[in-house]
Amino acid sequence: MSRATDAIERLLGIMQRLRGPGGCPWDREQTLRSLRPYVLEETYEVLEAIDAGDAREHCEELGDLLLQIVFQAQLTREAGQFDFADVANAISNKLVSRHPHVFGDVEVEDAEQVLRQWAALKREEKRAKGRGESVLEGVPKEMPALARADRLTEKASRIGFDWPDASGAREKVSEEIGELDRAIAAGDRVEIEHELGDVLFAVANLSRKLGIPPEEALRGTVARFIARFSHIERELARRGVPHGGASLEEMDVLWNEAKVLEAKAKSGSAPAVTEPPRGLGKERG
């Protein structure tokens, strides 16, 4: 623990110096609102490092994310609100109170019971604080919509508002697609948007029932789209065909070619079709 304590104290000291007199002009200008985009950006970069399986990069990106926590805690410390120790103690207290099966004498049978217990304890804490008691509370409004739909339906499922299995959720997807088709046929743009949202929500719910986070599933599809489309661009450039100079049929052939190469790469018989190199990145880490 002494090594971790020393490292945290060093980081807190560096942050205080950066914000103090004679520190960094950029750091001294920052506010909680100006730091908001960096929290999201760093979180996504941690996810990218996890997906890449690069331990060194993962460690570095976790450090960048930790900086955002330390930075905000320094700002609130200067405002006389709370400091990093308060942040660490708050989560420590929460972990202890919500794990009575570990730190107390409560017994649980499985992970599902742990989740139900966690939800019940969370509701009790909110009630004690005079907050609302809806099981849907606590899901940030600024989460990506698919991930938020996943979390909302998962929370609702904790009190039994859920399909018994994935088949019911799958039937709901078909039902919503039918309603979308009817809205498209009617040409009602407002209704089309409404029904399209219902389709996406139903798909997110099905993903949850299948145990596949919808945001991660879509991220994977986006990555494959980029890799396959990049293959099309490379091949057209190699043939001297300018952007917009190929027909849809020609590009479709190259798209299918990329899929074949992708399948061969999975079997180890060909190099993978990869995404283009990432850009230079951001200026702050």
Q: Where are the domains of the chain?
A: 2-94, 98-128, 145-212, 216-267
Contact 61, 49 (CB under 8 A): yes
Q: What is the pLDDT of residue 112?
A: 81
> Quick check: do 2-94 and 145-212 share a fold?
yes
CATH for 2-94 (3.40.50.300, 3.30.70.2520, 3.40.50.150, 1.10.287.1080): 1.10.287.1080
At 127 the pLDDT is 75
Any idea of the CA torsion for 49, 261, 211, 107, to the nearest 10 degrees? -50
Instruction: Note the pLDDT of residue 278.
Output: 41
* pLDDT tens digit sequence for 235-257: 999 999 999 999 999 999 999 99
pLDDT at 77: 97
Q: Which class does domain 145-212 fall in?
A: mainly alpha
pTM: 0.66
Q: How far is CA 24 from CA 15, 27, 85, 130, 150, in A?
A: 10, 5, 24, 41, 41
Write out the chain's pLDDT in tens, 285 residues: 689 999 999 999 999 999 999 999 999 999 999 999 899 899 989 988 998 899 999 999 999 999 999 999 999 999 999 999 999 999 999 999 999 999 988 888 888 888 888 878 877 877 777 766 688 887 888 888 999 999 999 989 988 899 999 999 999 999 999 999 999 999 999 999 999 999 999 999 999 999 999 988 998 999 999 999 999 999 999 999 999 999 999 999 999 999 999 999 888 765 656 554 443 334 344
Q: Answer whether 119's CB lies under 8 Å from 187's CB.
A: no
The pLDDT score that the predictor gives to residue 271 is 62
